[in-house]
Amino acid sequence: MKELYILSTNLGFIPQNISISWKTDSYLWMCELQKWLRENHNIIVMVEPYSNGSSSCRFIWDRFILNNIWMLDSFSMEKHEKYEKALEIGLYESIKLIK
């Protein structure tokens, strides 16, 4: 998470709600980063549930980029137990595109 914070702030991301901290409010902070990527860089990061038919559910992330039309750019088949972890990885991989 710290590396995601460093990369995103180096690119100019500042949460609109300055009281949100990546250390204490990581999910809210990631939601603002997700919105910033969508509005400023035409990158949508989505998290979806993945199930192999069992009762357990994991999460994967997808990334869409606007290039005249919205196109699926990348997705992860790496399954995460937590929604927030899948979102963090998707955001991190998307931020690296901007560098």
pLDDT at residue number 69: 66
Which domain range does residue 7 map to? 2-98
pTM score, whole prediction:
0.84
Q: CB-based burial of residue 41 (10 Å sphere; 0-12 exposed, 13-18 middle, 19+ buried)?
A: middle
pLDDT at residue number 87: 94
Question: Which of the residues in the chain have pLDDT under 50?
Answer: none
Please count the structural domains in the chain.
Answer: 1
Question: Per residue in 27-38, pLDDT tens?
Answer: 999 999 999 999
pLDDT at residue number 32: 95
pLDDT at residue number 75: 64
Q: How far apart are CA 88 and CA 76, in angstroms?
A: 12
pLDDT at residue number 80: 82
Backbone angles phi, psi at 15, to 5 degrees: -60, 140
β-strand partners of 69: 67
Q: How far apart are CA 38 and CA 45, in angstroms?
A: 8
